[in-house]
Amino acid sequence: MNPFDRLFAVSGLSLDRLRSFLEVAEAGNIARAAKADPTRQSQFSRQVKELEGFFVVALTRRVGRRIEITTEGHQLAAVIRRHFSELDDFRESMAGRPVSVRLGAAASILEWTVIPKLAACTGALGGATLELEQSRSAEVVRGVADGRLDFGIVREDAVPKEMKRWKLGTIGYALFAPKAAWKKGSGVDAVIKAHPMADLLPGGQFHEQWSGWLFSQSLRPKVEARVSSFTQLARLVRHAGLAAVLPENAVVEFDASRILSAGLPWNHERPMVLIGNARSLDRAGLPAKSPALLARILTWKSNA
């Protein structure tokens, strides 16, 4: 009769088990999800096993003395996550509370591109609460794909080609330095040679490129500080009077009469795009077409 009778014909399915499995899947293994609580440990182990029995498929795989989630497990986790989000959305929107929308991007994007337009964004989302989550492009793409994130802003080259995207503009890097450092007509090279700088700690994809370029130009800047993020770098430029290379969108951070910037010679601009989770897009409580609206708001002119 009912098309879902067969779903409940076999026992072993319950919200609790789905919830437990989701926790394990998010944590990656049981120990991490259980957080040294032996009760949770045994519960998780058992419930995952019961779900595997229900779906007749291995959701986990033993690797060494721990387990990891199989592809099928991740698929199921995505289904569960979506489902719980929808129920939660429904409840929140019925209660008249704002739905919350998760957007992932790099810290520099969040601080210098999203936050300055935050009000317009929440407006476009019908008053939803925006939760900004900082992570690297690959992680954002994965998050959007499996429903942990509703939106993401990433380099276009990190987006799998079948995923829909909205172009926002390009971002390159520029040298930021106090006005005084820029002697009349002097270029980037001159500032780097003469003015003390701040730099990122080695590690990122950008740092590679940057130090390679310095080497090729036989430039040896005087580095007074090494920090771990662009936002910290910006703070150094602002308050310590150092020069530094930052993403172009960092201009919003500075008073144009005190800090000037100039693009780097090897500065190849990277196109950035907004991506969105297909199913989150028409969640209860969100206006239709929100990704397009959001993209329009967040788009910037590519200052080439």
Partner DNA sequence: AGATTAAATGACTCCGGAATCATGAATCCA
Partner DNA sequence: TGGATTCATGATTCCGGAGTCATTTAATCT
For the CB of residue 148, give the shortest distance to DNA in the complex, in Å.
21
For the CB of residue 63, give the shortest distance to DNA in the complex, in Å.
7
Closest to DNA by CB, 41 or 186? 41
Closest to a copy of itself by CB, 35 or 301? 35
For the CB of residue 26, give the shortest distance to a copy of itself in the complex, in Å.
7
Name the binder of 83 from DNA, a copy of itself, none, CB < 5-8 A by kind.
a copy of itself
Distance CA 284, CA 41 (A): 35
Name the binder of 286 from DNA, a copy of itself, none, CB < 5-8 A by kind.
none
How many other C-beta atoms lie within 10 A of the C-beta of residue 256?
A: 9
Residues that bind a copy of itself (CB under 8 A): 2-4, 6-8, 13-15, 19, 22-23, 26, 54-57, 72, 75-76, 79, 82-88, 90-91, 94-95, 162, 278-279, 282, 284, 288
For the CB of residue 16, give the shortest distance to DNA in the complex, in Å.
3
Cβ–Cβ < 8 Å for 155, 137: yes
Looking at residue 219, its amino acid is L
Closest to a copy of itself by CB, 15 or 118? 15
Residues that bind DNA (CB under 7 A): 11-14, 16-17, 29-32, 34, 38-39, 41-43, 45-50, 60, 62, 64-67
Closest to a copy of itself by CB, 240 or 278? 278
Name the binder of 213 from DNA, a copy of itself, none, CB < 5-8 A by kind.
none
Closest to a copy of itself by CB, 55 or 166? 55
Closest to a copy of itself by CB, 85 or 261? 85
Name the binder of 62 from DNA, a copy of itself, none, CB < 5-8 A by kind.
DNA
DSSP secondary structure letters along the chain: --TTHHHHHSS---HHHHHHHHHHHHHSSHHHHHTT-HHHHHHHHHHHHHHHHHHTS-SEEEETTEEEE-HHHHHHHHHHHHHHHHHHHHHHHHTTPPPEEEEEE-HHHIIIIIGGGHHHHHHHTTTPEEEEEE--HHHHHHHHHTTS-SEEEEEGGGS-TTS-EEEEEEE-EEEEEEGGGS-TT--HHHHHHHS-EEEEPTTSHHHHHHHHHHHHTT----EEEEESSHHHHHHHHHHH--BEEEEGGGGGGS-TTTEEEEE-TT---EEEEEEE-TTGGG-TTS-TTHHHHHHHHH------
Closest to a copy of itself by CB, 6 or 239? 6
Name the binder of 282 from DNA, a copy of itself, none, CB < 5-8 A by kind.
a copy of itself
Name the binder of 133 from DNA, a copy of itself, none, CB < 5-8 A by kind.
none
How many other C-beta atoms lie within 10 A of the C-beta of residue 15?
A: 11
For the CB of residue 21, give the shortest distance to a copy of itself in the complex, in Å.
12
Name the binder of 49 from DNA, a copy of itself, none, CB < 5-8 A by kind.
DNA
